[in-house]
Amino acid sequence: MPLPQERRPVTLRDMEAEREALLAELFGEGGVPAMLSGRLLRTREVARLFQVSERTVAEWARRGRIPSVRTPGGHRLYPADRIRELLSASEDNSSA
Count, residues in the chain: 96
Q: How far apart are the first and last CA of the chain?
A: 70
- The CATH architecture assigned to 36-95 reads Orthogonal Bundle (1.10)
Tell me which of 9 and 74 has the higher pLDDT. 74
Pair 87, 50: CB distance under 8 Å? yes
Phi, psi of 65 (to 5 degrees): -75, -25
pLDDT in tens, 20-79: 888 888 888 778 777 777 889 999 999 999 999 999 999 999 999 999 999 889 999 999
Say what the pTM is.
Answer: 0.67
- Spans of all domains in the chain: 36-95
Q: Is the dihedral of CA 64, 69, 71, 76 positive or negative?
A: negative
Instruction: State residue 15's pLDDT score.
Output: 81
3-state secondary structure 16-78: HHHHHHHHHHHHHHHCCCCCCCCCEEEHHHHHHHHCCCHHHHHHHHHCCCCCCEECCCCCEEE
Helix axes 43-50, 54-62, angle to 10 degrees: 100
